[in-house]
Amino acid sequence: DVKVTQSSRYLVKRTGEKVFLECVQDMDHENMFWYRQDPGLGLRLIYFSYDVKMKEKGDIPEGYSVSREKKERFSLILESASTNQTSMYLCASTTLGAGGIYGYTFGSGTRLTVV
Amino acid sequence: GQQLNQSPQSMFIQEGEDVSMNCTSSSIFNTWLWYKQDPGEGPVLLIALYKAGELTSNGRLTAQFGITRKDSFLNISASIPSDVGIYFCAGSSQGGSEKLVFGKGTKLTVNP
């Protein structure tokens, strides 16, 4: 089975901290995505990546950056955490050209609380 | 960004009842997908649809790809408590497109 692993299920961070959310997939997928999920707003795309060292902004990239140094790992970085970044963060992956056909495989999510 | 219109936003039903939810789009889609998200977990793919008019089942779940290619429906028959969660539709306008468009989800609560 394809596995997408997010390193933390729950995180509590202080305002202003730099926060790293890690995501690893074990199926050699080219495409990886970061979403945030908030009640009533659904899934909103933050950043995605088609290849190592490649990144593209999604719909809500402000306040976030990403890093993809290795194919299997896609990191989401909150440069200076703020309370409005309290949310559920979901990582997903899919193989090249297949996202619109077979869908994405999601991780279990990281619930981040910024205090 | 583009989003699908998914309804209803939430449903409260009794165990044993049937459930129906749908998604609509202003543009034509080539693929429709339905996901379920259990509380505290990530979404998991339930059903994928690739052809207009297609009707596909997965156990008690049945989904249909609308004839106009602008909508899709998911039905759950004889609901049970473990059906609780959030159901998302997703679509792609291009077969090989990398990015899916998601609905906002239908939150289902099943009372025993």
Going by pLDDT thresholds of 50, 70 and 90, the confidence category of residue B88 is: very high
Residues in B touching A56 (Cβ below 8 Å): none
- The residues near A113 (Cβ < 8 Å, ≥ 6 apart) are A10, A11, A12, A13, A86
Q: Indicate the SS3 state at residue B81.
A: helix
pLDDT exceeds 60 at position B71 = yes
d(CA A42, CA A98): 22
Mean pLDDT for the stretch of residues B46-64: 95
Tell me, what's the pLDDT at B13? 96
- pLDDT at position B96: 52
Tens of pLDDT, residue by residue over A25-63, are: 998 999 999 999 998 899 999 999 988 989 999 999 999
DSSP label of B99: -
Q: Does A101 touch chain B (CB under 8 A)?
A: yes
Reply yes or no on whether the pLDDT at B92 is more than 90: no
pLDDT at A1: 66
Residues of A in contact with B1 (CB under 8 A): 44-45, 58-59
Predicted confidence band of residue B102 (pLDDT cuts 50, 70, 90): very high
Mean pLDDT, rounded, for B8-37 = 95
Point out the residue among B1, B88, B100 whose CB comes nearest to the CB of A100.
B100
Give tens-digit pLDDT for A69-115.
999 999 999 999 999 999 999 999 988 777 667 789 999 999 999 99
- pLDDT for res A102: 78
Q: Which of B31, B44, B105 sits opposite A101 (nearest CB)?
A: B31
> Given this model, what pLDDT does residue A40 score?
87
Min Cα–Cα distance to chain B from A37, Å: 9
Q: Does A24 touch chain B (CB under 8 A)?
A: no
DSSP string of A49-105, one letter each residue: ESSTT--EE-S--TTEEEEEEETTEEEEEESS--GGG-EEEEEEEE-TT-HHHH--E
Chain B contact for A54 (CB, 8 A cutoff): no
Residue of A nearest to B96 (CA): A97
**Residue B2, pLDDT score:** 64
Which burial class, exposed, middle or buried, applies to A93 when counting CB atoms under 10 A from its CB (0-12, 13-18, 19+)? buried
Residues of B in contact with A43 (CB under 8 A): 43, 88, 102
